[in-house]
Amino acid sequence: MKKSRYPIYDDEIRELSYSPYNFFDKWFMKATRKLTTPTLLSYTFYVPVSEYLRGELFCDDVTEAANEPFTHIDLVTLLLDDFLYQAKRRSNPVELYHELTTRSQKAIKITSYHEEEDAIFPPANSPKKKMIKCLINRKQALRLEVMLSDIAELDLEYSFEVKDVLRMLYSDFILQYKNGNLSNVVDNIIQRLSQ
């Protein structure tokens, strides 16, 4: 059986399309679902070691300034919150697709002597990569999978999975921070954590 790219979305569709025969079936389905459905889902993605180090130092800065722990998981969660908030306001799959493709740093573009662009995909298990494992609220993951499924239905050049978006958000944030494009970001995060 082929693994689904959007398992949470598919699971919700299956549940919504299931019609129980009687009260007992309906009760049993709800009880089983409540017991077996996790509220937090684990996702893993890889980033270059230099990005990971910058992210680690940034998280240390926030931890020191806030006097409470702030980790990569917290950073990814905040970035995803912001992305979903902005995406909800737009809700146009074509716009979201273009935003994701401009953020995508999946391929390193090079120009050959024939002036044609080739894409080189670094190996996933490259020794110069570091794994980030994060926990995402199921509701957020479902919202993101629905958006990504809408984009996939457009049958455009690229399609994305949740882990791709998490990696892009993280990498884009680290790049913007490294280049000095984010002002007062530590103070803004501390203010947001206090709310």
Check residues 122 and 39 and name the one with the higher pLDDT.
39
Q: Please identify which residue in the block is written with the tokens 């499924």.
A: 149
User: Which pairing describes strands 108-111 and 40-48: parallel, antiparallel, or unpaired?
Assistant: unpaired
Structure tokens at 134: 């994060």
pLDDT in tens, 63-73: 999 899 999 99
- Matching residue, tokens 């199921």: 138
Tokens (6 digits) for 177: 């921070």
The larger pLDDT score, comparing residue 120 to residue 41, is at 41
Q: What is the pLDDT of residues 138-175, one digit of tens each?
A: 899 999 998 888 888 887 777 788 999 999 999 999 98
So what's the pLDDT on residue 76? 94
Q: Three-class SS of residue 158?
A: coil
**Cα angle at 105 between 103 and 110, to 5 degrees?**
125
pLDDT of residue 127: 54
**What pLDDT is attached to residue 109?**
33
**Neighbour tally for 125: CB within 10 Å:** 8
For residue 18, the one-letter residue type is Y
DSSP code of 107?
S
What does pLDDT average to over the chain? 79
| Mean predicted confidence (pLDDT) in 108-124 | 40
- The model's confidence at residue 108, banded by pLDDT at 50, 70 and 90, is very low
- The mean per-residue pLDDT over the stretch 69-90 comes to 89
Quick check: 42 and 134 in contact, CB under 8 A?
yes
pLDDT of residue 131: 92
Partners of 119 in the β-ladder: 109
